[in-house]
A and B are shown apart, each in its own frame.
Chain A
Amino acid sequence: MLNVGKIEEGFVLDHIEAGKSLSIYHHLKLDKLDCTVAIIKNARSNKMGKKDILKVECDINTLNLDILAVIDHNITVNVIKDGEIVDKKELVLPQEIHNVIKCKNPRCITSIEQELPHIFVLADEEKEIYRCKYCEEKASRSATQW
């Protein structure tokens, strides 16, 4: 069994679907942060068989994790302070997401103007449906490949 040391302050993202940790690493823009990150792939899990885990050592106020709700709201977010779990963060779908989902409507203005950000607005929280801000094309969270 591989051991990864505990962190003093930051987040442990647990129960990530196996194989998705790198995608989450990029969506959270962790590559841009000057902090310690441990990516654990295919860890054994009683619940899931295997899972991924991300450990991020950082100031807990610096990282916006809302996007995780869009990608996979089954992820457990443990908030770590002084080496202990102090909270389990509840994930809430953000009202607006930028450059996470790409609009697939070939008639959308984003299909010809490459520099435009792909902005999706939460249209139905219950059904987890986002719509393109420009053309209102529907994107359902569950149907999107992450």
Chain B
Amino acid sequence: MRHLMNPLDFTVEELEKLFDLANDIEANPAKYAHACEGKKLATCFYEPSTRTRLSFEAAMLNLGGQVLGFSDASSSSAAKGESVSDTIRIVSCYADICAMRHPKEGAPMVAASRSGIPVINAGDGGHQHPTQTLTDLLTIRSLKGRLGDFTIGLCGDLKFGRTVHSLINALIRYPDIRFIFISPPELKVPDYITDMLTERNIAYEEVIRLEDCMPNLDLLYMTRVQKERFFNEEDYVRLKDFYILDKNKLSAAMDDMLVLHPLPRVNEISVEVDDDPRAVYFKQAQYGVYVRMALILTLLELA
């Protein structure tokens, strides 16, 4: 029995198989409409996360399975003090597979160690959110036609951004990736990541403004710059516009560049960009469902 805790739990070859399956699901949804009939997915969400939970539930429903679960800790037995280990033992009696989100880091791993069913980490604090990374990889592979040989710009909060760190770690397994980190100095990517890239001889550069690199990018991964991350409001006001993508900034980009965003966006991508064919963040959410369908099938050994 396998679980998914970290995007690196799967080898590159295993991910290729998973993404092939996701693309087949995309092309032939009817073929998979009854694949999980009689199976149940438990969504154990100890903190609210509407999109991730709905994406998992949509994935299972698309496969003909059923879903049960809770969407915040106060409506679960955790409010009575039950441990994660006990909860998963009980859930194992009710469902065939579990997607767990928990504010405490490592909680899904504790669950997996006691579980009788496959557990998917649906986000544990600031630690891992593997299905987001798989979604990002599938989106790039499907729309770019390859994973490897491109320049990716990662923009916004690169210091605390969990999705960015996970994506970097996942991408370095592919050949010829060049990173451009676009952030204010306060939110630059941590040293341990740039040290790791230097050690592996992977090309990267750090720039302050989005305009400084736009024409060179094959992919732009946007994230939110949160006001509370800054020491003072002055710096925030001075810097925030550098990290807002609008039509004007996008006009300098290549015609086939893709803009991704893990969502939810607030104001870092102007709504006028939404209709540009290069803006693929809503398609990305759709790929999130396909990759979760492929993952459920794989972990249930139904693929």
**Interface assignment of B125: CB less than 8 Å from any CB of chain A:** yes
> Complex Cα distance A107/B126, Å?
8
**Interface assignment of B3: CB less than 8 Å from any CB of chain A:** no
Chain B positions within 8 Å of A136 at CB level: 105, 127
**Interface assignment of B102: CB less than 8 Å from any CB of chain A:** yes
Chain A positions within 8 Å of B85 at CB level: 113
> Complex Cα distance A145/B83, Å?
30
**Interface assignment of A108: CB less than 8 Å from any CB of chain B:** yes
Closest Cβ of chain B to A133, distance in Å, is 7
Chain B positions within 8 Å of A112 at CB level: 104
Closest Cβ of chain A to B147, distance in Å, is 25
Instruction: Please tell me which one of the listed residues B83, B104, B125 contacts residue A115 in the complex, with CB atoms under 8 A apart.
Output: B83
Chain A positions within 8 Å of B83 at CB level: 113, 115
How does the 8 Å CB contact mask read for B102-126 relative to A, with 1 for contact and 0 for none?
Answer: 1111110110000000000000111
Asked whether, in the complex, the Cβ of A107 is within 8 Å of the Cβ of B109, the reply is no
How does the 8 Å CB contact mask read for A78-102 relative to B, with 1 for contact and 0 for none?
Answer: 0000000000000000000000000
> Complex Cα distance A135/B121, Å?
13
Q: Chain B CB within 10 Å — which of A107, A109, A111, A133 has the most?
A: A109
**CB within 8 Å: A-B pair count:** 44
Asked whether, in the complex, the Cβ of A109 is within 8 Å of the Cβ of B110, the reply is yes
Chain A positions within 8 Å of B109 at CB level: 109, 133-134
**Interface assignment of A110: CB less than 8 Å from any CB of chain B:** yes
> Complex Cα distance A54/B245, Å?
66
**Interface assignment of B171: CB less than 8 Å from any CB of chain A:** no
Closest Cβ of chain B to A34, distance in Å, is 33
Chain A positions within 8 Å of B124 at CB level: 109, 135
Asked whether, in the complex, the Cβ of B84 is within 8 Å of the Cβ of A113, the reply is yes
**How many of chain B's residues touch chain A, expressed as a range?**
10 to 19
How does the 8 Å CB contact mask read for A121-146 relative to B, with 1 for contact and 0 for none?
Answer: 00000000000111111000000000
> Complex Cα distance A115/B113, Å?
14
**How many of chain A's residues touch chain B, expressed as a range?**
10 to 19
Asked whether, in the complex, the Cβ of A111 is within 8 Å of the Cβ of B127, the reply is no
> Complex Cα distance A111/B105, Å?
10
Chain A positions within 8 Å of B84 at CB level: 109, 113
Asked whether, in the complex, the Cβ of A134 is within 8 Å of the Cβ of B125, the reply is no
> Complex Cα distance A73/B260, Å?
49
Asked whether, in the complex, the Cβ of B105 is within 8 Å of the Cβ of A108, the reply is yes
Measured CB to CB, the nearest residue on chain A to B128 is: A136
Instruction: Please tell me which one of the listed residues A107, A132, A133 contacts residue B125 in the complex, with CB atoms under 8 A apart.
Output: A107
Asked whether, in the complex, the Cβ of A105 is within 8 Å of the Cβ of B110, the reply is no
> Complex Cα distance A137/B103, Å?
15
Measured CB to CB, the nearest residue on chain B to A110 is: B106
**Interface assignment of A2: CB less than 8 Å from any CB of chain B:** no
Asked whether, in the complex, the Cβ of A113 is within 8 Å of the Cβ of B127, the reply is no
Asked whether, in the complex, the Cβ of B104 is within 8 Å of the Cβ of A133, the reply is no
Measured CB to CB, the nearest residue on chain A to B85 is: A113
> Complex Cα distance A136/B106, Å?
8
Closest Cβ of chain A to B123, distance in Å, is 12
11 other A-B residue contacts (CB within 8 Å) besides A107-B105, A109-B106, A135-B124: A108-B106, A109-B104, A111-B104, A113-B85, A116-B110, A134-B105, A134-B106, A134-B110, A135-B106, A135-B125, A137-B105
Instruction: Return 12 A-B CB contacts under 8 Å, by A number.
Output: A107-B103, A107-B126, A108-B104, A108-B105, A108-B106, A109-B102, A110-B106, A113-B110, A115-B83, A133-B106, A134-B106, A135-B124
Identify the B interface with A (CB < 8 A).
Answer: 83-85, 102-107, 109-110, 124-127
